[in-house]
Amino acid sequence: MKHSVIIGNGIAGTTAARWLRKLSDQKITIISSETDHFFSRTALMYIYMGHMRFEDTKPYEDWFWDKNRIDLVNDHVNSIDYAKKTLGLASGSTIQYDNLILALGSKSNMFGWPGQDLDGVGGLYNFQDLENMEKFSPGLERAVICGGGLIGIEMAEMFHSRNIPVTMLVRESSYWSNVLPPEESQMISDHINKNHIDLRLGVNLGEITDDGSGKAKSVIVKETGEEIPCGYVGLTAGVSPNVDWLKETGLEIERGIMVDDNLATNIPDVYAIGDCAQLRTPNPGRRNIEAIWYTGRMMGETVAYNITGKKVDYDPGIWFNSAKFIDIEYQVYGDMPAQHDEATESLFWKHADNEKSVRINYDKASGVIKGFNLFGIRYRHEVCEKWIKDGNHVENVLQNLGMANFDPEFYKQYEGDVVKLYNQKSGKNLTLKKKRGLRDVLSFLRS
C-alpha cells in the first residue's frame, strides 16, 4: 500500500489528506508540530478577542481523523532524505514515504532589526504567535505594531478589543497603499484613526530596546529617533515561504519551492502546495506565490488528484480576496492594482460616511469589465466572477449591479448611486434594473 506523507496541517495539507482519502485507499499521514489538529488560521484573532474558543476553530471533530484513517503525528521534521524517501523527526524516529507533500506554510518576515529576538516580540501567523500575545497581554500598557497590511490591522484590532493602546508604524504614506488604490487606502487610514489607533505613516522600525532582562521595553523610530515605550512589539511586515531549512537539500527553491502545473517539484514524488509553493508558470494576472486560504485549499485538492494518477493542472481562476479592516469588510475580484494603467478606466463611488465604496475597473477602449473593489458592501462572488470571465461590458454590468449585491435584506443599497455616477461621467442615461431574486441569480450563473 502506498504511503503519502504531508508535512503541515494547515488548509493546504489538510485538504490534500481529505482528497487523497476520497480518491484512494492509501495510507495517509499528516505531520505537524504546531497543533494536534487542524484549525482555521484566519480565526486566531477571534480566539484572542473572546469571540471563539480554540475548539470552535476546528472544522472537524477530533474523531474525524481516525474515522477517515488519516494518521496525525505531532512532531517536527528535521531532515529529509529524498533518495531513501525518509523523514527524520525531532523525536528521533523516522517515517518512510512513497509520496511527500510539503505544505509548510509561511513565516513572519524578520529583517534583522536589533532586538527582534527579545521576549515580548512576535508575529501573527501560527498558534504559538497567539500564545505569545496572550502571555504578554496581562497588564500591557501599550503595544507597537511594525508593518501594515492585513496582518497588522488584525493584530491592532486584537489589542484594541482589550483596551490596550496601540501604535502602528507603517512605512507607506497611506495604509496598504502598495495594494489599495489611493482613495481606498486613505479611507482605511481614516478608519484606523477613527478607532483611536495611533497610526504613524511614512516611518520604519529602527530597533527594539531591551529592558535589561531580555524583554522588549520600547521601539525606536528609524526616521525620527523617537522612543515609544511598549511591552509588546508586533512584527507584521508580511510573510514569506517557510522554506529556509530546505535550501541546501537539492530541492529547487527561489522564494518558494518551485512547482509545475501539477504542483510537482524537481524531485520525483515530492510536491509542494499552499504558501510555500512557487508556481513556475502562474496564470496571467496571478502571482507565483499566493498566501491565501482558498488557494491553499485548491492546491490541496489538485495535488491529491495528481498523486492518485488523475492528472489535473492547478487553476485558481480569477483573483479574489476578502478581509476586514476593523469594521469595514473588504472584497476584491479580478484586476485591481493600486495604480491602474492608461488602458483602464476606473469608476469609483464612495459614500459620505467614508466607510463604504465601490470601484469598478474596465477597459477604456472596449468597455470590458476587469475588476471590482468593495468596501463595506458585499457582492456575490459567483456573479462578479462570471461577469469578468465572460468579458461583460461595463454598461451591462452596471444595469444589473443589483443582482450582485449580497447585503442582508434590510440594508440600504447603493447600486443606483453607482449608476448615477457613471451617467454623470459618460453622459449616458443608464437605469438600474430591479434587483432580481435568488432564482434569477442562479439562472444567470447557469447561462
**How high is the pLDDT of residue 442?**
78
Average pLDDT over residues 415-424: 96
Same fold across 121-237 and 320-446: no
pLDDT tens digits, 298-338: 999 999 999 999 999 999 999 999 999 999 999 999 999 99
What is the model's pLDDT at position 436? 65
Mean pLDDT of 20-28: 98
Of residues 167 and 109, more confidently modeled: 167
**Which CATH fold topology does 3-106+240-307 show?**
FAD/NAD(P)-binding domain (3.50.50)
Q: What's the CATH number of domain 320-446, 1.10.3470, 3.30.390, 3.30.530, 1.20.120?
A: 3.30.390
User: Would you kindly state where each structural domain of the chain is located, as residue ranges?
Assistant: 3-106+240-307, 121-237, 320-446
pLDDT tens digits, one per residue of 354-410: 999 999 999 999 999 999 999 999 999 999 999 999 999 999 999 999 999 988 777
What is this structure's pTM? 0.93
First to last CA, the chain: 45
Task: Please indicate whether residue 54 or residue 440 has the higher confidence score (pLDDT).
Answer: 54
Which of 163-167, 212-216, 412-416, 438-442 is least confident? 438-442
CATH class of 121-237: alpha beta
Say which amino acid occupies 133. Answer: M
Q: Hunting for cell 448611486 — which residue is that? A: 417
Total residue length of the chain: 447
